[in-house]
Amino acid sequence: MRAPGQFAGVLLAPGAAHTLVLDVRVQPGASADGDTIGRTAELMRAQSGKPVAIHGPTSLSDSAQTHDADAIRRLADTQGEADGADVAVLHLFYLSGRFADDGVLGVAVRADTLAVFPDEIASATSPFVSAARIERAVVTHELGHVLGLVDLYLETNRDDAEHPGHSTNRGSVMYYAVESDLVAQLFGGPPPVDFDSSDLADLRAIRAGAAPQG
């Protein structure tokens, strides 16, 4: 199994994958925001320079209401779209219920697989922060992990020592609190939805062929 971030070079840099697919699967009872899906594909397109096709949303055959990382990976293997010749597939799952760990709004469980939990997102809203805003932030955050942020592919030594894989900048969508159910409380308003300049510099470096750490 390749950990989140280890597929970043394939997704971003010219090479084996010339086309990307965003494979969107939605469990019955969950909902997906079309604007967020479209923006995610556009981010992938902008950062990779490759054509990106959205496949779905397609219904998932799954009734579980608690999901752990292994179960999500199994969904990707059994119901997700397979990679093809010159094509890399990124799986985005919208799952009803919750993650096995408390307080999780979204998670990247593998180099090609991320999941969000709309029920948990709805519970994290406030009068000042909408579910759509949180969903956009969470999906972008998990996409960032899959694309190698922060220090999951490169070794820049800029990730948060207390929250590895995350930015120390509260203005970055890669700040640790974005994927937590305390997001509205910790920010006191809408969370960031964009990568900061350091995030973007890392993505450019990976696209240009920078070698992975280790």
Share of the chain above pLDDT 90, in %: 92
Contact between 34 and 26 (Cβ < 8 Å): no
What are the structural domain ranges in the chain?
8-207
Task: Name the average pLDDT for the chain.
Answer: 96
Tokens of 183: 């997001």
Homologous superfamily of the 8-207 domain (CATH):
Collagenase (Catalytic Domain) (3.40.390.10)
Q: What is the pLDDT of residues 120-156, one digit of tens each?
A: 999 999 999 999 999 999 999 999 999 999 999 999 9
Q: What is the pLDDT of residues 14-70, one digit of tens each?
A: 987 999 999 999 999 999 999 999 999 999 999 999 999 999 999 999 999 999 999
> What average pLDDT does this structure show over 100-122?
98
Longest dimension (CA), the chain: 47
Query: Is it true that the peptide bond before 190 is cis, omega within 30 degrees of 0?
Result: no
**Per-residue pLDDT, 16:** 76
